[in-house]
């Protein structure tokens, strides 16, 4: 046993003595070289000190060959292709649209409305026929009961066709309507007389009657006239779903009406035209008609 640590064998030397490499010149633990307590022969080269061995190890590392380089294979990394990304984006968009549509349908059902909104078909814009020269026409709005005082005169387009109608409203007195209709059938002038109206009714009663009778009535404007008269502007929409030959487009029209209390009677002078002609008819034809209207004495 060597007491000096520097003189002791290293672990590597011990391993080599116990398990010599094949073909090595030394022998095992029991060979002659270890007789005498394991001391080395004087002819053996001196053993290196620990410090020298560390330096030699560093030198061996520096003297080692170059780095072996990259691996002979490339680790596979799973990536998502452009097609897969597009498919996922499209699927997300479809799911979002389906969810929005489902929410809309649920809201409509809960609110008591049909899932599909109501559709309204409109007729193509009616061409604005040129108005021919106005001529003053005289007519009589007497009723079948023979009430007198129904004579009047009014400017009318020369080529418009006249016919007379008797009406028996449930909430108003009987009336007589004198119509003039344009050759195209798109415009109409009506002069209506309610004999004895003012004895039991007011102008507001006539307005309520029109509101309940006109299809899809919508009041646009109401302007007071001289005395207790009133000028109304309202729109209507007539549907022809049950017309012969199949449904026809809806007809949207506008009506200008002067409601004129005169003596005991009520006179109404109205002009109805397609809604596309609203502005021109208000400032043109209707203005000329109302200026020339007069009740006979």
The boundaries of the domain holding residue 40 are 5-59
Question: Where among 36, 59, 82 does a domain terminate?
Answer: 59
First to last CA, the chain: 158
Per the domain annotation, does 128 fall within a domain?
no
Same domain? For 265 and 166 the reply is: yes
Give pLDDT, residue 284: 93
What is the pLDDT at residue 29?
A: 47
Give the count of alpha carbons within 13 A of 96, CB side only: 6
Q: Are 269 and 289 in contact (CB under 8 A)?
A: yes
**Closest alpha carbon to 174 in 198, 195, 202, 151:** 195
Identify which has the larger pLDDT, 107 or 296: 296
Do 186 and 290 share a domain, yes or no? yes
Is pLDDT above 80 for 60? no
Given phi > 0 = left and psi -120 to 50 = alpha, else beta, which region is 196? left
Assess if residue 209 is contained within a domain. Answer: yes
CATH number, domain of 228, equals: 3.40.1000.10
Residue 200 lies in a domain: yes
| Residue 113 in domain | no
Are 20 and 163 members of one domain? no
Give the pLDDT band of residue 149 (cuts 50, 70, 90). Answer: confident
Residues 47, 139, single domain; the answer is: no
Backbone φ, ψ for residue 289 (5° rounding): -65, -50
Report pLDDT for 34.
45
Computed over every residue of the chain, the mean pLDDT equals 78
Nearest to 204 by CA among 241, 259, 158, 165: 259
213, part of any domain: yes
For residues 47 and 155, membership in a common domain is answered with no
Q: What is the mean pLDDT of residues 158-182?
A: 94
Same domain, 166 and 261: yes
Q: What is the pLDDT of residue 275?
A: 93
Res 181 pLDDT > 70: yes
Structure tokens at 281: 């008819």
Q: Judge if pTM exceeds 0.75.
A: no
26: which residues sit within 8 A by CB, 6+ positions away?
Answer: 16, 17, 20, 33
**47, 140: one domain:** no
Query: Cα-flanking dihedrals φ and ψ of residue 284, to 5°?
Result: -105, -90
pLDDT in tens, 186-233: 999 999 999 999 999 999 999 999 999 888 899 999 999 988 899 999
Sign of CA dihedral 192, 193, 194, 199: positive
Q: Do both 251 and 147 map to the same domain?
A: yes
Which of 59, 85, 100 is the endpoint of a domain? 59
151 and 253 part of one domain? yes
Q: How many domains does the chain have?
A: 2
In terms of domains, do 168 and 33 share one? no
Does 65 fall in a domain? Answer: no
151 and 290, same domain (yes or no): yes
Domain end among 37, 59, 81: 59
Say if residue 36 is in the same domain as residue 165: no
pLDDT class for 122, splitting at 50, 70, 90?
very low
- Token duo for residue 132: 């021919």
Q: Is residue 236 part of a domain?
A: yes
* Residues 251-264: tens digit of each pLDDT: 899 999 999 999 99
95 falls within a domain: no
């Amino acid at each position: 046993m060597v007491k000096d640590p520097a003189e002791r064998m290293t672990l590597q030397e011990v391993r080599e003595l116990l398990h010599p490499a094949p073909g090595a010149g030394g022998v095992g633990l029991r060979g002659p070289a270890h007789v005498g307590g394991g001391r080395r022969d004087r002819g053996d080269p001196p053993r290196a000190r620990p410090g020298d061995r560390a330096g030699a190890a560093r030198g061996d590392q520096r003297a080692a060959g170059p780095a072996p380089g990259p691996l002979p294979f490339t680790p596979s990394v799973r990536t998502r292709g452009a097609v897969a990304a597009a498919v996922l984006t499209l699927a997300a968009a479809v799911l979002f649209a389906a969810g929005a549509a489902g929410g809309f349908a649920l809201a409509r059902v809960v609110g008591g409305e049909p899932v599909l909104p109501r559709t309204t078909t409109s007729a193509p814009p009616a061409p604005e026929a040129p108005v021919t020269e106005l001529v003053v026409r005289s007519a009589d709005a007497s009723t079948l009961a023979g009430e007198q005082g129904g004579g009047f005169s009014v400017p009318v387009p020369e080529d418009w066709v006249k016919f007379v109608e008797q009406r028996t409203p449930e909430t108003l007195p009987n009336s007589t309507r004198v119509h003039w209709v344009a050759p195209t059938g798109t415009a109409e002038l009506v002069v209506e007389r309610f004999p004895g109206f003012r004895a039991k009714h007011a102008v507001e009663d006539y307005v309520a009657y029109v509101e309940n009778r006109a299809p899809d009535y919508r009041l646009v404007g109401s302007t007071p006239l001289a005395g207790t008269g009133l000028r109304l502007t309202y729109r209507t929409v007539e549907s022809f779903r049950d017309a012969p030959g199949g449904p026809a487009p809806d007809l949207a029209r506008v009506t200008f009406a002067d409601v004129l209390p005169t003596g005991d009677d009520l006179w109404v002078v109205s002009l109805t035209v397609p809604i596309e002609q609203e502005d021109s008819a208000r400032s043109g034809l209707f203005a000329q008609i109302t200026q020339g209207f007069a009740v006979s004495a």
